[in-house]
Homo-oligomer: A and B are copies of this chain.
Amino acid sequence: MATKRKYYTEEQERLAKIAKALSNPARVFILDFLAKNLDKCCYSGDMVDELPIARSTLSEHLKELKNAGLIQGEINPPYIKYCLNRENWMIARAMLDRFFDR
């Protein structure tokens, strides 16, 4: 490949990461679901019945969204209450705003 001079900026890497979190319809569904129920927070069991995927698969999508920072889970055994991470949600929103505003 030989050496190239420039690589991606931090901003570009971060935007790609946010986009990746949103790049699967199941994850978009989860975020929609959590946003629709901001008042109550949700258990993963509330979502699995609405989705055409196995519990374990849902669990992995939740993990990805957590890693991306878009959601958080409050452990309250044997339940885990999920909700949007407002702070990072706003950051993601601002980044996408900036990106598309031109």
Contacts and interface: CB of A to CB of B under 8 A. Distances in A.
Interface of A: 1, 4-8, 12-13, 15-16, 19-29, 31-32, 35, 38, 49-54, 89, 92-93, 96-97, 99-102
* Secondary structure of the A contact surface, majority rule: helix
B102 A38 contact: yes
A93 B100 contact: yes
A26 B8 contact: yes
Contacts of A99: 28, 31-32
B12 A29 contact: yes
A58 to B, nearest CB: 12
9 contacts: A4-B49, A6-B51, A8-B25, A15-B25, A16-B24, A19-B23, A22-B23, A96-B96, A97-B97
Contacts of A4: 49-52
